[in-house]
């Protein structure tokens, strides 16, 4: 019986330690105002609208496109903290510009660090790309969440 208990506990611990963690969404900001895109907006552009989640090796990210039109989008961005790199946890809001390059829509806005974040749709995913401090690009792939 003791062996069975040890085996069961070991299986649970391995599952906890080695299975991918499910990200828990942070509390939504009090001033969140989701505004459905106008039906006349191109589908390729209105597809940005909604809630998204992504992660990299160090941090978790949540992104909300709460409003979008042909010229601008309201973007809420949340990131988990990464104190050793000086990155604090929390939500921030930015107004993004909408552009169309080579037939594809892109949203772009200034990050808190002063760089430019670019958001593009790649199939069912949303990709965020921005320059890092070490002359390379950072990229986070987001997936849509309800």
Give the domain 34-145 fold: Lipocalin (2.40.128)
Instruction: Round to whole Å and give the CA distance between 1 and 9.
Output: 13
Low-confidence ranges of the chain (pLDDT < 50): 4-22
Taking the C-alpha atoms of residue 135 and residue 120, their distance in angstroms, rounded to an integer, is 21
**Residue 62 burial (C-beta neighbours within 10 Å; 0-12, 13-18, 19+):** buried
Q: What is residue 68's predicted lDDT score, i.e. its pLDDT?
A: 98
pTM assigned to the model? 0.76
- pLDDT given for residue 9 in this prediction: 40
- Quote the pLDDT of residue 131: 73
- Quote the pLDDT of residue 6: 42
What's the CA gap between 144 and 8, in Å, rounded? 35
Q: Does the CA dihedral 15-16-18-22 come out positive or negative? A: positive
Residue 89 is predicted with a pLDDT of: 76
**Exposed / middle / buried, residue 105 (Cβ in 10 Å: 0-12, 13-18, 19+):** buried
* Amino acid 17: pLDDT: 37
- So what's the pLDDT on residue 34? 96
Q: Do the Cβ atoms of 120 and 127 come closer than 8 Å?
A: yes
| pLDDT recorded at residue 130 | 79
């Amino acid at each position: 019986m003791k062996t069975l208990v040890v085996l069961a506990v070991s299986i649970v611990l391995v599952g906890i330690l080695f299975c991918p963690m499910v990200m828990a969404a942070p509390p939504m900001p009090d001033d969140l105002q989701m505004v459905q895109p106008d039906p006349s907006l191109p589908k390729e552009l209105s597809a940005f609208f909604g809630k998204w989640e992504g992660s990299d090796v160090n941090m978790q990210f949540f992104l909300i496109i709460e409003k979008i039109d042909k010229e601008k989008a309201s973007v809420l961005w949340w990131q988990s903290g990464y104190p050793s790199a000086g990155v604090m946890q929390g939500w921030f809001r930015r107004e993004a510009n909408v552009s169309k390059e080579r037939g594809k829509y892109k949203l772009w806005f200034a990050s808190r660090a002063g760089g430019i974040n670019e958001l593009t749709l790649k199939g069912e995913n949303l990709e965020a790309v921005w320059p890092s401090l070490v002359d390379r690009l950072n990229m986070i792939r987001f997936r849509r969440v309800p």
